[in-house]
Amino acid sequence: MIPISLPSMGQEEWEATKEPIFSGWITQGPKVAEFEKIFAARHKVKHAIAVSNCTTALHLALVALDVKQGDEVIVPAFTWVSTANAIMYCGAIPVFIDIDIKTFNIDTTQIKSKLTPKTKAIIPVHLFGLCANIDEIKKMAPNLKIVEDGACAAGAGIGDRPAGSLGDIGCFSFHPRKSVTTGEGGMLTTNDDQLAERLNMLRNHGASVSEEQRHKGPKPYILPEFDMIGYNYRMTDIQGAVGIVQLKKLDQFIDERQKWADYFTKELSSIPWLHAPYIPTNYKHGWQSYVLFVDETKSPMKRNDLMEFLQQKGISTRPGTHAVHMLGYYKKSFNIKPTDYPGAFAANEYSMSIPLHNKMVKEDFEYIVNILKEIK
């Protein structure tokens, strides 16, 4: 079985965990700080703030922007459920927008029609590692705060501008399906000093200083002040140590994935019922996933039957992700019909991710291509 994804980790990551384990400093500390520093440098931002996962990053981003009960936040209808859930955590209302089926990203032409006096922010998703068109979003809604959901997009960018530097706050994931991983884990990025200070406090219960700062200070026995309600969304130093090693491999990982994504695109172009990922000019894809669109009007079998066939042939697949408006809670709570967002509906029904990760070898890629070409 060729898995849909597999983290690329080994001896170097294992060795890195020993220092925090033997030092006794396991919670957020110097390794997290080092990880934050190099992540910020790689993504060309002033501040990076590590957290427990990307969902908590999204939540903190909205809290830091003072999104609260009754506010509206625009979000694409086709994304992982946590993007919308984070809005609900704040008591705010997710306002869904359809996607551009070519890119699977938010359809920027629909933004203006969704703006109301209650609209507080927008969360464009850099889905599968392809950045949303942030420049166009700024034109459509110049006064709106932008939270980039870059869960899939570490190392991606537009021109020389990396994901996470394009909006007000960026949010990243280090889940094992991502190109670099810390097991679980997330990162916030921003160029705003005040937002960075607020995010730093919010992730640590609202404390005025971190545990590391307090323990290294002249009076470690004095507890910090708590002037705001915060959360325990910290990353551990064990994860930070792994993240340092992984991040140093990020560009190598993406280059390898780009090479094999190009191979897939070239080799599968002869199959008329499979549409390869679309990449706009001057965009650098992060290739968290390679997601095809299955045209069932031409395909010899339906998308789900195709996935079952490939599973039997030892090839793991998944839908790209899901249309949030079609999930039980959101469908019932907002009284939404599946076809209210036709692009998201189509992506939900016809997208298919095939294996693309750094543990694969040439024979894996060739086998996948050959099996798909044999389907008549």
Residue from 215, 207, 209 nearest 232 by CA: 207
Count how many residues are written for the chain: 376
CB-CB contact of 253 with 8 (8 Å):
yes
- Pick the catalytic residue from 120, 145, 178, 284: 178
Q: What tokens were used for 111?
A: 């933004």
Secondary element (H or E) of residue 96: strand 93-97
> Residue 331's Cα: distance from chain center in Å?
23
d(CA 80, CA 1): 25
> Quick one: which of 369, 352, 367 has its CA closest to 128?
352
Cβ count near 227 (within 10 Å):
10
Known catalytic residue at 178: yes
**β-strand partners of 352:** 292
Task: Identify the CA nearest to 180 among candidates 261, 124, 244, 126.
Answer: 244
Region for residue 33 given its phi and psi (left: phi exceeds 0; alpha: psi -120 to 50; beta: otherwise): alpha
Q: Which helix (H) or strand (E) holds 139?
A: helix 134-140
CA distance 92 to 181: 30
Helices marked H in 172-320 — which ranges? Answer: 193-202, 211-216, 237-248, 250-268, 303-312
Q: Which residues pair with 171 in a beta bridge?
A: 149, 188
Q: Look at residue 315 and give its three-state secondary structure.
A: strand
- Element housing 309 (H / E): helix 303-312
Q: How far apart are CA 203 and CA 162, in angstroms?
A: 24
Contact between 156 and 163 under an 8 Å Cβ cutoff? The reply is: yes
Structure tokens at 324: 């949030």
Active site residues: 178
